[in-house]
C-alpha cells in the first residue's frame, strides 16, 4: 500500500506546536492563525490515525505517537533544509534563506521534482503521478522560481535534471523515507504493524541467509511486508543512498563504496570451482590452473569480487585466462549451463547446496580457502531503523552465526 506523504506545511506547524507547547505561541512564531494550526494538527492526526498531543492546562505535550513523529519529522526537515542550503549558498538573492524557503515549498512540488528526476520526462512523470502534465510543469517551475535556480534542462533525449535538482531530489526521497518510517512506528505502537522492509539482495544472500531470516521473521511479524529487490550492485547502492532501499545484503566492497554508507560483515564463505556430476575433472585429486583453463566458464561481470577471484586463479599461476566465457549472475542460467556441458564456474558452494545434495553438481578439488569473501549488510550511515527493522537485522546476524 502506498504511504501518503503529509503536507510539508502541516509538518512545520506540528514541529512548532511540539517545540513551543502552545498553539498560541506557534501561531505567533510561524505567522499562521490559530484555527489554521488546529486544522493542520487535526489533519495530521487523521492521516496517522493517532492523537499527537495531550492538552494540559500548562500547554500541549506530545503523546508517545507525537514523540515518534517529532523525531522523524525533524530528521526529514533537516534533509530538505541541508539540500536547500547547499543549492542557494551561491545565490545572490540573499533574502531567500533556506529557512524561509522551506516555509514556501510544498509536498506537491517535491513529489513533482522526484518524478521528473526519475523519469527524465515531464509526460512520463505526470503519468507516474496520475496528474496532468500541466500540473507537473507548474509545480516544477514554481519550485525553480522559489529556489532561484534552474532544475531541469531540455536535451535531445528529453529532460535532464541539473545538479541542484538531483541534490534536492535525493534529500526529498530521504525525507519521505523518514516520514514513512515514522508512520510505521506509530502503527506499531497501536499494534497494527503493517510496515515494509525493502532489501537489495545479491545472489549468495538470496540462497542462504535471507530466506531463513524471512521465514523466522514472519513467524513473529506476519503482517510486515518484505520487498526484495535484485539487480547489479551499482544500482542497488544508488537506490540505498536515495532512500528507496533500507538494506543491501550481499558481498561487501572494499574500500566502502561511498562515505554515506556503512558496512557490517556477517559471514565469509570461500569460493569453489563447481562442475556437473561426471565432469572430466571430478575425480582428480590434484587439479592445476592449466587444467582449469582448458574448459569454458560461466563467470560474473567484471568489477565483481568473484570475477576478480576468478582472474586471480590464473594470474597467480601465470596462466592465460580462459577465453570461452559466458558472463551471467543468473543462478538458473549458471546451473543449466553447467549441467548440460563441461563448463565450470566459480561460486560459493552454499549457493548450489541443493544441486550438490541431489548430485547434479560437484565441487572440484581445487583449494580456494584464501578466496573467502565477506558477506554482510550495507546501510545508510544516517539510517535509523524502526524496532521492527532492528529485529530483522538481529535475525540476519543470528542466522549468519550458524553459517559461520
What are 142's three cell numbers? 514554481
User: 159-181, pLDDT tens digit by residue?
Assistant: 899 999 999 999 999 999 999 99
Exposed (0-12), middle (13-18) or buried (19+): which is 260, by Cβ within 10 Å?
middle
Question: Per-residue pLDDT for 196 more than 80?
Answer: yes
- Residue 375 · residue 265 · CB < 8 Å: yes
Name the more confident of 155 and 25: 25
CA distance 88 to 11: 22
Q: Which run of H or E residues covers position 231?
A: none
Q: For the chain, give the mean pLDDT.
A: 92
Q: Percentage of the chain with pLDDT > 90?
A: 77
CA distance 91 to 230: 41
- Look up residue 6 and give its DSSP letter: P
All residues at 6 or more sequence positions from 377 whose CB lies less than 8 Å from its CB, including other chains: 247, 248, 249, 263, 264, 266, 393, 396
Domain ranges of the chain: 8-171, 195-267+375-403, 272-371
Dihedral sign for Cα atoms in the order 274, 278, 279, 283:
positive
Confidence of residue 228 (pLDDT cuts 50, 70, 90): very high
Question: Per-residue pLDDT for 94 more than 70?
Answer: no
Q: Is 267 helix (H, G, I), strand (E, B) or coil?
A: strand
Measured in Å, how far apart are the chain's first and last C-alpha atoms? Answer: 37
- The domain covering 195-267+375-403 belongs, at the CATH homologous superfamily level, to Periplasmic binding protein-like II (3.40.190.10)
The predicted model gives 24-28 an average pLDDT of 93
Q: Which of 352, 363, 355 is nearest to 281 (CA)?
A: 363
pLDDT at 100: 65
* CATH architecture observed for domain 272-371: 3-Layer(aba) Sandwich (3.40)
CA distance 335 to 50: 51
> Whole-model pTM?
0.85
Question: Per-residue pLDDT for 97 more than 70?
Answer: no
- Out of 40-44, 57-61, 371-375, which region has the weakest mean confidence (pLDDT)? 371-375
The predicted model gives 261-279 an average pLDDT of 94
Confidence of residue 90 (pLDDT cuts 50, 70, 90): low
**Intrachain domains 8-171 and 195-267+375-403 with the same fold:** no
CATH number of this structure's domain 8-171: 1.10.10.10
What are 403's three cell numbers? 553459517
Amino acid at each position: 500500500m502506498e504511504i501518503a506523504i503529509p503536507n510539508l506545511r502541516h509538518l512545520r506547524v506540528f514541529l512548532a506546536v511540539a517545540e513551543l507547547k502552545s498553539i498560541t505561541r506557534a501561531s505567533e512564531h510561524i505567522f499562521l492563525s490559530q484555527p489554521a494550526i488546529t486544522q493542520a494538527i487535526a489533519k495530521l492526526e487523521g492521516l496517522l490515525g493517532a492523537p499527537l498531543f495531550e492538552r494540559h492546562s500548562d500547554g500541549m505535550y506530545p503523546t508517545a505517537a507525537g514523540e515518534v513523529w517529532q523525531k522523524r519529522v525533524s530528521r526529514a526537515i533537516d534533509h530538505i533544509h541541508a539540500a536547500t542550503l547547499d543549492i542557494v549558498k551561491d545565490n545572490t538573492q540573499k533574502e531567500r534563506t533556506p529557512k524561509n524557503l522551506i516555509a514556501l515549498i510544498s509536498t506537491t512540488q517535491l513529489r513533482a521534482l522526484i518524478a521528473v528526476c526519475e523519469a527524465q520526462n515531464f509526460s512520463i512523470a505526470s503519468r507516474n503521478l496520475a496528474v496532468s502534465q500541466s500540473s507537473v510543469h507548474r509545480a516544477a517551475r514554481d519550485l525553480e522560481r522559489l529556489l532561484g535556480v534552474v532544475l531541469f534542462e531540455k536535451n535531445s533525449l528529453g529532460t535532464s535534471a541539473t545538479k541542484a535538482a538531483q541534490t534536492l531530489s535525493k534529500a526529498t526521497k530521504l525525507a519521505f523515507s523518514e516520514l514513512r518510517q515514522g508512520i510505521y512506528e506509530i502503527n506499531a505502537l497501536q499494534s497494527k504493524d503493517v510496515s515494509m522492509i525493502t532489501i537489495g539482495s545479491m545472489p549468495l544472500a538470496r540462497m542462504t541467509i535471507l530466506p531463513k531470516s524471512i521465514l523466522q521473521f514472519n513467524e513473529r511479524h506476519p503482517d510486515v511486508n518484505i520487498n526484495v529487490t535484485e539487480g547489479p550492485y551499482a544500482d542497488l547502492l544508488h537506490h540505498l543512498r536515495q532512500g528507496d532501499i533500507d538494506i543491501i545484503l550481499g558481498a561487501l566492497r572494499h574500500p566502502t563504496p561511498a562515505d554515506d554508507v556503512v558496512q557490517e560483515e556477517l559471514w565469509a564463505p570461500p569460493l569453489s570451482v563447481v562442475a556437473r556430476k561426471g565432469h572430466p575433472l571430478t575425480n582428480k585429486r590434484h587439479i592445476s590452473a592449466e587444467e582449469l583453463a582448458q574448459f569454458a566458464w560461466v563467470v560474473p561481470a567484471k568489477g565483481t569480487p568473484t570475477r576478480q577471484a576468478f582472474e586471480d586463479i590464473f594470474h597467480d599461476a601465470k596462466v592465460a585466462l580462459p577465453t570461452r566465457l559466458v558472463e551471467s549472475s543468473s543462478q538458473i542460467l549458471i546451473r543449466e549451463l553447467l549441467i548440460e556441458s563441461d563448463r565450470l564456474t566459480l561460486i560459493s558452494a552454499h549457493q548450489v547446496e541443493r544441486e550438490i545434495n541431489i548430485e547434479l553438481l560437484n565441487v572440484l578439488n581445487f583449494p580456494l580457502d584464501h578466496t573467502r569473501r565477506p558477506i554482510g549488510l550495507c546501510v545508510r550511515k544516517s539510517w535509523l531503523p524502526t524496532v521492527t527493522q532492528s529485529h530483522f537485522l538481529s535475525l540476519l546476524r543470528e542466522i549468519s552465526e550458524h553459517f559461520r
